[in-house]
Amino acid sequence: MPPDRWQQHNITFVDGEMARRTIAERLGPGLIEAEAGGQLTGWWFMNKQPWPLRYLADKPSPAIESLLSDFIGDGVATLCLPCVYEPETDAFGGPEAMEAAHELFHSDSRHLLTYQPSPMHLGRRETAVLLASAMMRGAGLDWFEQGDVWAKVAALRPVTNPPPPERAAELISPMQKLMTADARSLCRPNGPLHRYDEWVTAFERAGATLADLAGRGALTRGLRAVIAHHVIFHANRAGLLRDDQSALSYIAREVVMGTSDHTESPTEATASIDSVSAVNTDTITTPTADAERLRNALVDQLRTDGHARTPAVETALRTVPRHVFVPDASLEDAYANAPVHIKYDTDGTSISCASQPGVVALMLDQLEAQPGERILELGAGTGYNAGLLAHLVGENGHVTTLDVDDDLVEGARTHLAAAGITNVEAVTRDGALGYAEAAPYDRIIATVGAHGVPHAWLQQLAPGGRLLVPQRLKGTVSRSIAYEQRDGRWVSLGSEMNTFMPLRRGIADDDRRVIPLSTDGAVRLQAPAGLNIDADALAGVLDQPHTEEWTGMTVRAMESPEWMELFVTCSLPSGLIRMLFPQSAKGTLLTEDPYPSSTAVVDKGTVTYLARRLSKEKTPEGDRLWEFGVIGHGPGSDELVARVADAIRTWDRDYRHREATFEIQPLDAPEIEQRPGLFALDTPLNRIVVDWR
């Protein structure tokens, strides 16, 4: 294939977890759609930073360029640059072998995007060994020739700390099962590779093609050296760390070269590996060592992101084993910077999860728990957050954690016991009631979203105590706010943008409802249940002609417009409401770049939403800027659009460089005179004053 037909984009993601989610949820489907539309073919990637995406096309794909621009605008990537692709033709054995490599890269990339490690699937390390072994057998390599390939990989990925001899001996048998297993037999129904037979076929075919080229003298490098290069490329694409690659190749080499009596054939071995339980994600390296490595890598990432700012919080996160609290998740999922959902409502909606570690760290920074303190947590979930709190307060402190569901409380108790944590009491109780039996508390932290602040929380705090609550202020705009009582007033010390699952089944319920905006229901509002919205009046509103107004307010890449969101939500009766939409709605039902956070304003049968576009202006440093606009549909949309745009401009002109403070007041407190920069938000339980002055 002519080199000038290859297109390459180097994508610099914000962090590894953001990259994994964006690639799986947005880029993968976008590539498949662009391929189906004839814009490109043969796409593949490598899993590193920056993330290189390569595909065949006469020119860069407009769909992919638009998607990459979205990544910058959404803050998931900092750079997306076009680059020249230089194939490693010599390393892969010459032009014909390079063409075969590209075919394998494409198939491998497609399957890696969809095959996710889980209790019913194999892990990335196990599939790497299975696929590499299938490729070697496809090339007709005998047992010792396969061992030589692993030795070449081990030479390129030298192990720095080889496992002790006794541990290496333990790993020989499971590794040999992987190396000699018939991967195709695992593709049968209910097998761990079910529906992934084409993945296995791609590696077998690549091995056979390379062997044919070698037999015809058309391979410019040794067959086993080329296959070793393929093994490393797949491992990199699969996201295996260098330590993983070192361990795999070291043990695989030892399986073959460590003794001369390993003569088991694939046929003889297949019967012993017929399920995930036979060879699972813990077979190659010590689970405890893996967990510690992944946990430390996660905390390193959180520190880079600006969280876990104190040594105490950092130490707690490095010490408390999250995987013990989510036993059904793989180690990779347990230590990803993402929530792990553990309970669902009857309609499939998640109602409890282990919160995203980045959010957990952010709130622990805000809480500032000290040794010896008594803490009340509202929302036990898995028990993980309570375990972190227990570590922070130490053996002389105590944590009480509440949840409304018996099964969640029992699970939290089990997980805490498994982790050896003894200074936590888990209780079934409506969190809005608090737990007076163990009051007063030095700190109260809610890990569930609230609208009003229950009176019990304030009453059960000790003098000088701190309340930390993820609070939905208006519309769907929420912030994690730390309150303390000063001179008889409950005032904020600081706040961070944050959203949690709402309180439910109690006196402070803050439920949500879904309201379709498009005829097919693809675009819909996720609105607070208590907000007065006429769903019938909004049915199919997006089918009506639109009005738009661009505000002149711009943001840089990675600059959060969170304070603008809050100001606009305070300024309008409905507030800003989250709008859910699929990727396919962009450029069809909606503009090319609708703002994905709290974005919609509603007035009777009219709706507006925020959008962005690349501005012609740039920063003094030459960086790009994105301008915010307002799009409206429905009767009188031009008037509502103008009101939203005016609120954005007011914030930009007068309040952009300020942060708001918050105060909890009783509902019968004297009313304040509201004006731009000073708002009173009434909840069913109290009044929240938001002040930018």
Domain boundaries, the chain: 6-86, 117-285, 291-497, 512-655
**Residue 77 reports pLDDT greater than 70:** yes
Identify which has the larger pLDDT, 571 or 69.
571
Average pLDDT over residues 15-29: 84
269 φψ region: left (φ > 0), alpha (ψ -120 to 50), beta (else): alpha
Residue 668 CA to residue 227 CA, distance in Å, equals: 76
Residue 663 CA to residue 686 CA, distance in Å, equals: 10
Q: Is 258 helix (H, G, I), strand (E, B) or coil?
A: coil
**Residue 286 reports pLDDT greater than 80:** no
Helices (H), 258-396: 266-270, 287-304, 311-319, 322-325, 331-334, 357-367, 384-393
Sorting pLDDT into bands at 50, 70 and 90, what band is 261?
A: very low
CATH fold of 291-497 reads: Rossmann fold (3.40.50)
Token pair of 46 as six digits: 């490598």
Residue 626 CA to residue 617 CA, distance in Å, equals: 9
Token pair of 459 as six digits: 């009453």
Highest mean pLDDT among 219-228, 257-266, 303-312, 499-508: 219-228
Beta pairing, strands 424-428 & 398-403: parallel
Q: What are 96-138's pLDDT values in tens digits?
A: 999 999 999 999 999 999 887 665 678 888 999 999 999 999 9
630 φψ region: left (φ > 0), alpha (ψ -120 to 50), beta (else): beta
Identify which has the larger pLDDT, 4 or 101.
101
Kind plus residue range of the DSSP H or E element containing 495: strand 489-497
**Residue 348 reports pLDDT greater than 70:** no
Q: Which residue has the tokens 């907000």?
A: 531
Q: What are 564-595's pLDDT values in tens digits?
A: 999 999 999 999 999 988 888 889 999 988 99
The CA-atom distances, in angstroms, between 297 and each of 291, 324, 367, 547, 593 are 10, 17, 24, 48, 33
Residues 6 or more apart from 233 whose CB is under 8 A from it?
A: 46, 101, 105
Tell me how many helices (H) and strands (E) the chain has. Answer: 22, 23
Q: Is 648 helix (H, G, I), strand (E, B) or coil?
A: helix
pLDDT on residue 279: 41
> Are the beta carbons of 238 and 112 closer than 8 angstroms?
yes
Average pLDDT over residues 16-42: 88
Residue 254 CA to residue 175 CA, distance in Å, equals: 10
Q: What are 189-214's pLDDT values in tens digits?
A: 878 888 899 999 999 999 999 999 99
Residue 134 CA to residue 124 CA, distance in Å, equals: 15
Instruction: Provide the b/e sequence for 589-599 (b: ≥16 CB within 10 Å).
Output: bbbebbbbbbb
- The dihedral through the CA atoms of 612, 613, 616, 619 has a sign that is positive
Burial of residue 436 (number of CB atoms within 10 Å: 0-12, 13-18, 19+): exposed
Q: From the candidates 61, 69, 107, 352, give the one annotated as an active-site residue.
A: 352
Radius of gyration of the chain from Cα atoms?
28
Kind plus residue range of the DSSP H or E element containing 236: helix 223-237
- DSSP letter assigned to residue 586: B
Q: What is the CATH number of domain 6-86?
A: 3.30.70
**Size of the chain in residues:** 693
Name which of 414, 386, 413 is nearest 316 in CA terms: 386
pLDDT on residue 35: 92
**Residue 683 reports pLDDT greater than 70:** yes
Residue 435 CA to residue 386 CA, distance in Å, equals: 15
Sorting pLDDT into bands at 50, 70 and 90, what band is 676?
A: confident
> Are the beta carbons of 321 and 295 closer than 8 angstroms?
yes
pLDDT on residue 292: 86
- DSSP letter assigned to residue 8: E
Residue 345 CA to residue 83 CA, distance in Å, equals: 47
Name which of 287, 260, 278, 276 is nearest 173 in CA terms: 278
Q: Would residue 480 show up in a list of annotated catalytic residues for this protein? A: no
- DSSP letter assigned to residue 356: P
Q: DSSP string covering 134-175, please?
A: HHHHHTT--HHHHHHHHHHHHHHS--SSPPPHHHHHHHHHHH
Q: Give φ, ψ of 54 to 5 degrees.
A: -130, 145
Q: What are 219-242's pLDDT values in tens digits?
A: 999 999 999 999 999 999 998 888
The CA-atom distances, in angstroms, between 558 and each of 75, 423, 562 are 5, 40, 12
Beta pairing, strands 661-665 & 678-682: unpaired
Sorting pLDDT into bands at 50, 70 and 90, what band is 267?
A: very low
